[in-house]
Chain A
């Protein structure tokens, strides 16, 4: 593990029964950067993200944080290192925004140390940082999809972890809310130097927001590096089975993929 890596995945294998999902996968996730995991359906990207948060038990290999092997860490300690926004999170419709964001403080409390001033401050910071403070007494059921996603991000933020994992956070959002949500993620990264690991379906969004892009295929890392290095016609064809044209987008100078046909 290099000291620039926040997470080092070391020959990780994982599967259900006889199906292998991750096959001796190794990957360094750099500290303070945005890493985007991408790949075709069933490539294991969500499984890898969940394994990093120890929601799956690996059959081999290990995942190292600065604090050590995640397999050795206690529940709360791990939850203070890594925050997770699950793929389709759910909470009761009549829960208020504040009640949900409060949940993020769970790992910081113990039986003997209940809610404290520090928790209140973290709660306020998280709501202010995501711009949902004015919604605090609203019920979740009354929010729009975009607002709801911000609230969920606020909850993960309130956890105040160095590493934040988000599993397809923009899946059900329309275009403006997708941008809104990912801009928010980038801001978290640049303002607080948090390490962000994202699973994204949309290659162009991935290229636009990633510092490091990781292509997974069949449970192994097919390629990883800066988006400019990875977004090549040859690699996309190899990983996604799609003939594509890659151009540089005129607005942001990021690579832009135009899919042509499946191979």
Chain B
């Protein structure tokens, strides 16, 4: 008998929310310098322009907010693409959506000079949308590809995108410094504005995902069965593309391509709450937020006193999880 009856969902969400709060506190207090809770509290409520308060409000706070937003966004996007492609190793990165969003941002800023944060966020979302349509169109064009091949297509398109990014960047020396840092995938040195612009887009994507949760349940079965249950299959797919693009685009705009969060977290969420999407989405959002925040904290210590890009940490964890999944033939 596998896994006994899961925890009551409400209790679980509460536990996860508490964990998330703890992770965010950790993110605010620890790092190159360690601050006490009291100092953090004072800096946030009664800013006194001291060095500590400045570090906390301008450096620590943005990343303590952006990390969970990005983690939640990529995790929810991951849940949706895994169901949509009926593929447990799909994620915004393995389908090339992160790379598509990055390419769009690089083109927009290096070639067209877009610099507003909202503009870049929406550009990133457009890039993700176009890529997702491209990948699925290629898959359908080949007569419905096996899950593995969809991933190979996605990874190849990601590689292609990265090469084009590289060509553009080497030709735009001036933009290189700005963008190179962003392209590494990190939560460091992001202005608070970025979080304020990204949050509503993440919220919209999440809301759309929740609306689509029940049809998504039925989409886990084959197309005929889902249609037989009265699910407007094509409409749901379009809605999901939109939601995934918003979530991935906003995440990439905020943090750059942070890899493998969308691959790893949905598996953990399903282990905890089962396969119903209403629960899966909420659990994945919380778990993704916790995971990204903790990875961000870990990034400050793995090569202390230097800081590693958080993308390197999630890539190592993600690579290992992918190997485990492949060995178990989950995909």
- The answer to whether A76 touches B230 (Cβ under 8 A) is yes
Q: Which of A82, A90, A111 contacts B221 (CB 8 A)?
A: A90
- The answer to whether B229 touches A96 (Cβ under 8 A) is no
Tell me the minimal C-beta distance from B205 to chain A in angstroms: 18
Interface-centre pick from B2, B224, B232, B270 (highest chain A CB count, 10 A): B224
For B218-234 the 0/1 string (1 means CB < 8 A from A) is 10111011011111100
Interface-centre pick from B1, B3, B220 (highest chain A CB count, 10 A): B220
Interface-centre pick from B1, B225, B228, B275 (highest chain A CB count, 10 A): B228
Interface residue total, chain A, C-beta cutoff 8 A: 37
- The answer to whether B225 touches A89 (Cβ under 8 A) is yes
For A49-86 the 0/1 string (1 means CB < 8 A from B) is 01001010000000000000000000110111011111
- The answer to whether A138 touches B225 (Cβ under 8 A) is no
- The answer to whether B229 touches A137 (Cβ under 8 A) is no
- The answer to whether B230 touches A137 (Cβ under 8 A) is no
Q: At the interface, is chain B mostly helix, strand, loop or mixed?
A: loop
Return chain A residues, CB-CB under 8 Å to B229: 79, 103-104, 106-107, 159
Please tell me if B200 contacts chain A, counting CB pairs below 8 Å. Answer: no
Return chain B residues, CB-CB under 8 Å to A95: 220, 275
Tell me the minimal C-beta distance from A238 to chain B in angstroms: 32
- The answer to whether A94 touches B222 (Cβ under 8 A) is no
Q: Which of A50, A90, A106, A139 contacts B222 (CB 8 A)?
A: A90
Return chain A residues, CB-CB under 8 Å to B88: 92
- The answer to whether A89 touches B220 (Cβ under 8 A) is no
Q: At the interface, is chain A mostly helix, strand, loop or mixed?
A: mixed
The docked-state distance in angstroms from the alpha carbon of A76 to that of B231 is 8
- Known contacts A94-B270, A99-B276: does B220 contact A84 (CB below 8 Å)? no
Q: Which of B3, B217, B225 contacts A86 (CB 8 A)?
A: B225
The residue of chain A having its C-beta at the shortest distance from the C-beta of B217 within the complex is A103
Q: How large is the interface on B (under 10, 10 to 19, 20 to 34, 35 or more residues)?
A: 20 to 34
A-side residues, CB < 8 A to B, are 50, 53, 55, 75-76, 78-80, 82-92, 94-96, 99-100, 102-104, 106-107, 109, 111, 137-139, 142, 155, 159
The docked-state distance in angstroms from the alpha carbon of A103 to that of B227 is 12
The residue of chain A having its C-beta at the shortest distance from the C-beta of B211 within the complex is A111
Return chain B residues, CB-CB under 8 Å to A155: 225
Q: Which of A55, A103, A137 contacts B224 (CB 8 A)?
A: A55
Please tell me if B214 contacts chain A, counting CB pairs below 8 Å. Answer: yes
- The answer to whether B218 touches A86 (Cβ under 8 A) is no
- The answer to whether B224 touches A91 (Cβ under 8 A) is no
Tell me the minimal C-beta distance from B62 to chain A in angstroms: 36
The docked-state distance in angstroms from the alpha carbon of A193 to that of B218 is 27
- The answer to whether A89 touches B1 (Cβ under 8 A) is no
Tell me the minimal C-beta distance from B146 to chain A in angstroms: 13
B-side residues, CB < 8 A to A, are 1-5, 86, 88, 211, 214-215, 217-218, 220-222, 224-225, 227-232, 270, 274-276
- Known contacts A95-B275, A96-B274: does B228 contact A142 (CB below 8 Å)? no
Return chain B residues, CB-CB under 8 Å to A82: 228
- The answer to whether A53 touches B228 (Cβ under 8 A) is yes
- The answer to whether A84 touches B232 (Cβ under 8 A) is no
Return chain A residues, CB-CB under 8 Å to B230: 75-76, 78-80, 106-107
- The answer to whether A84 touches B86 (Cβ under 8 A) is no
The docked-state distance in angstroms from the alpha carbon of A139 to that of B330 is 14
The residue of chain B having its C-beta at the shortest distance from the C-beta of A79 within the complex is B230
The residue of chain A having its C-beta at the shortest distance from the C-beta of B82 within the complex is A92
- Write 27 A-B pairs (CB below 8 A) sorted by A numbering: A50-B224, A55-B227, A76-B230, A78-B230, A79-B228, A79-B230, A84-B225, A85-B228, A86-B225, A86-B228, A88-B222, A89-B222, A89-B225, A91-B222, A92-B88, A92-B275, A99-B217, A99-B275, A102-B217, A103-B221, A103-B225, A106-B215, A106-B217, A107-B230, A142-B2, A155-B225, A159-B229
Return chain B residues, CB-CB under 8 Å to A103: 217-218, 220-221, 225, 229
A86-B222, A103-B218, A142-B2 known; 13 new pairs, CB 8 Å cut-off, are A53-B227, A55-B228, A79-B230, A85-B228, A90-B225, A99-B274, A100-B221, A103-B217, A106-B214, A106-B215, A106-B229, A137-B1, A137-B5
